[in-house]
Chain A
Amino acid sequence: MPTRMFIALLATLVLVAPAYAKHDFLTVVVAEPYIEMHTGPGRGYPVFHVVDRGARIEVLKRRTDWFQVRTDRGIRGWVREDQLAKTLQEGGEPLAIVNAGWDDFGGRRWEAGVSFGDFAGASSISLIGGWRMSANFTTELMATQLTGNYSDGWMAGVRLVHTPFPEWRVTPYLLLGTGVLHVSPRASLVSTEDRTDQYAQAGIGVRAWLTRRFMFRAEYAGDIVFTSRDDNEEVEEWKAGFAFFF
Chain B
Amino acid sequence: MESRIRVFLLRTALAGLVLAGLAGCAGSTLDREAEADQVRPVIDPQVQRRDVRAPKIDTEDFEAGGYVGFMSVEDFGSNTVYGARLAYHISEGLFAEATLGMTDTGKTSYEVLSGSSAPLLAPKDREFRYYDLSLGYNLLPGEVFIGGRHAFNSALYVLLGAGNTRFAGDDYFTFTYGAGYRVLATDWLALHVDVRDHMLDIDITGEDKTTHNIEFTLGATVFF
Contacts and interface: CB of A to CB of B under 8 A. Distances in A.
Contacts of B33: none
Contacts of A242: 96, 135
A3 B184 CA distance: 26
Nearest to B163: A125
A245 B138 CA distance: 23
A22 B58 CA distance: 8
Contacts of B153: 39-40, 45
A228 interface: no
A46 B200 CA distance: 41
B169 interface: yes
**For the complex of A and B, 5 pairs with smallest distance between CB atoms:** A123-B173, A44-B141, A187-B169, A40-B153, A147-B173
B126 to A, nearest CB: 13
Interface of B: 52, 54-61, 64-66, 82-84, 86, 88-93, 96, 100-102, 129, 133, 135, 138, 140-143, 151, 153, 155, 162-164, 168-173, 184, 187-188, 203-204, 220-224
Given A7-B84, A91-B52, A17 B224 contact: yes
A62 B163 contact: no
A125 B133 contact: yes
Contacts of B101: 3
A14 interface: yes
Contacts of B65: 10, 14
A54 B164 CA distance: 55
Contact of A42 (B133, B141, B169, B203): B141
Contact of A17 (B96, B100, B188): B188
Secondary structure at the B interface, as helix, strand, loop or mixed, is strand
Given A26-B57, A39-B151, A45-B153, A211 B91 contact: yes
B86 to A, nearest CB: 7
Nearest to B129: A3
A13 B64 contact: yes
Given A6-B84, A125-B163, A147-B172, A42 B54 contact: no
Nearest to A48: B151
Contacts of B164: 125, 145, 147
Interface stretch (A29-37, A65-73, A131-139, A192-200): A65-73
A64 B141 contact: no
A39 B143 contact: yes
27 contacts: A6-B100, A10-B66, A10-B84, A13-B222, A13-B224, A14-B221, A26-B54, A26-B55, A39-B151, A40-B141, A40-B153, A40-B184, A42-B155, A61-B60, A62-B60, A62-B61, A63-B60, A64-B89, A64-B91, A65-B91, A65-B92, A125-B162, A125-B164, A145-B171, A152-B170, A187-B168, A242-B96
A84 B61 CA distance: 18
B205 to A, nearest CB: 10
Contacts, number: 127
Contact of A3 (B52, B102, B135, B155): B102
Given A3-B83, A14-B220, A123-B173, 8 more contacts: A3-B101, A3-B102, A45-B142, A61-B187, A62-B60, A66-B92, A212-B90, A242-B96
A90 to B, nearest CB: 8
Nearest to B88: A244
Nearest to B63: A63
Nearest to A22: B58
B66 A11 contact: yes
Contact of B100 (A3, A26, A125, A214): A3
A25, A66, A67: most-surrounded residue (chain B CB, <10 A): A25
Nearest to A8: B84
Contact of A211 (B90, B151, B168): B90
Nearest to B58: A61
A244 B9 CA distance: 85
A176 interface: no
A207 B222 CA distance: 32
Given A3-B100, A125-B164, A64 B61 contact: yes
Contacts of B96: 242
B99 to A, nearest CB: 11
A65 B138 CA distance: 14
A41 interface: yes
